Amino acid sequence: MARKLIEDEATLSAQGLDGEEESPYLRRQKAVTVRRRGLSWTRQWAIFIVTVVAPLGIGSYFLTAFVLTSPRFELRSADDIQLTANHFVTREDVAVALGLPGHSNGFGLKILRLSLEDVRKQVEAIPWVHSATLTRVLPNHLVIRVVERQPVAYANVGGHVSLVDSEGIFLDKPESVYFDFPVITGLDPKAGSEECKTRIALYQDFMREVGAEIVHSGWVMSEVDLSDGDDLKALLVQGRETLQVHFGHENFLPHFHTFLALLPELRKSTTPLDSVDLRYRNQVVVNPQERTPASSAGEVEHPQTLKE
């Protein structure tokens, strides 16, 4: 009986489903994912190279070739050089050092091919140039800022008088420029730059200590002899009186004060003085001028020693 009821119930359920009216609305079916096959990385890189890299590379090549070969990017004369912080060095001096032609026609220097380090060395080879910094300004200009050498004295070498700086570099005197310096003698360019530099350093120490003091005392220093590195000799002039004073290589100011203190005693001598040696402690050696044969027959003057 129970089995029969179950079969009847199943039959009714099937009939109910079959007789159910179809819904006017369709149910949304589940979306189906469709995979599209894209370009591979190799193809993408190939397209990028063809469309971007290749045009840029070709354009850069022709632009570089144009810049390196075009006369528009050449230094041709001193007019293409801008020189700053200079007083004695001229653009023509720099143009000659770089080997530039003296006119705007002809072959120039490719500004982008220039080695700024090499150009700097060429500019610093100019005697008046102590150091230089360079900057390219396209298309065809070179800006050069120089630090010039500062002369400290005149130097008489072999009868030729020139200026000399603190490093012992000899400089030609510029036209229409006056320097109030004494003349240095005793420098030997053949001895080497270091030796000249050492002698010039001795002179500068001397000037720092007694330069202003000599002027205030009424004396004029016309020459300084540096031939002996242990004995700086200064030629002092006052009116008609000229004396060579040995200062040694140190304690210049105390030596000069000793000279001023003993000067009244020195002037009592009836014999004109040739030199005064201040190198010895607590005493001054005075050398009289040599007499002429006509006025000093048989007479010999000997050095005098004065105690402080």
Q: Which pLDDT score is estimated for 81?
A: 93
**Residue 218 reports pLDDT greater than 90:** yes
Phi then psi for residue 251, to 5 deg, are 55, 45
Q: Which pLDDT score is estimated for 299?
A: 47
Residues 6+ apart with CB under 8 A from 198: 229
Q: Which pLDDT score is estimated for 295?
A: 46
Q: Which pLDDT score is estimated for 128?
A: 96
21-35, 84-98, 231-245, 253-267: the lowest-pLDDT one: 21-35
State both tokens at 219. Answer: 């004396």
What is the band of 94 on the pLDDT scale with cuts at 50, 70, 90? very high
Phi then psi for residue 144, to 5 deg, are -125, 120
* CATH architecture of the domain with range 151-307: 3-Layer(aba) Sandwich (3.40)
Q: What is the CA radius of gyration of the chain?
A: 47
**Residue 193 reports pLDDT greater than 50:** yes
- Domain ranges in the chain are 71-148, 151-307
Looking at the chain, the whole-number percentage of residues with pLDDT higher than 90 is 47
Strands 81-84, 141-148: pairing is parallel
Domains 71-148 and 151-307 share a fold: no
Mean pLDDT along residues 181-209: 92
Distance between first and last Cα of the chain: 160
Mean pLDDT along residues 207-219: 95
**How many CA atoms within 13 Å lie on the side-chain side of 39?**
8
What is the band of 74 on the pLDDT scale with cuts at 50, 70, 90? confident
User: 122 versus 22: which is more confidently predicted?
Assistant: 122
What is the band of 43 on the pLDDT scale with cuts at 50, 70, 90? confident
What is the band of 137 on the pLDDT scale with cuts at 50, 70, 90? very high
Asked if residue 158 lies in contact with residue 131, where contact means CB atoms within 8 angstroms, the answer is no
**Residue 214 reports pLDDT greater than 90:** yes
Mean pLDDT value across the chain: 81
State both tokens at 96. Answer: 């000659």
Which tens digit of pLDDT belongs to each residue from 235-286? 999 998 999 999 999 999 999 999 999 889 888 877 888 899 999 877 788 8
Mean pLDDT along residues 180-207: 91
User: 149 versus 68: which is more confidently predicted?
Assistant: 149
- Report pTM: 0.70
Q: Which pLDDT score is estimated for 161?
A: 93
Q: What is the 3-state secondary structure (H, E, C) of the chain?
A: CHHHHHHHHHHHHHHHHHCCCCCCCCCCCCCCCCCCCCCCHHHHHHHHHHHHHHHHHHHHHHHHHHHHHCHHHEECCHHHEEEECCCCCCHHHHHHHHCCCCCCCCCCEECCCCCHHHHHHHHHCCCCEEEEEEEEECCCEEEEEEEECCEEEEEEECCEEEEEECCCCEECCCCCCCCCCCEEECCCHHHCHHHHHHHHHHHHHHHHHHHHHHHHCCCEEEEEEEEECCEEEEEEEECCEEEEEEEECCCHHHHHHHHHHHHHHHCCCCCCEEEEECCCCCEEEEEECCCCCCCCCCCCCCCEEEEC
What span, in angstroms and rounded, lies between the C-alpha atoms of 133 and 121?
10
Q: Which of these CATH numbers, 3.40.718.10, 3.40.50.300, 3.10.20.310, 3.40.50.1820, describes 71-148?
A: 3.10.20.310
Strands 183-185, 151-157: pairing is parallel
What is the band of 117 on the pLDDT scale with cuts at 50, 70, 90? very high
Q: Which pLDDT score is estimated for 9?
A: 55
Q: Which pLDDT score is estimated for 62?
A: 47
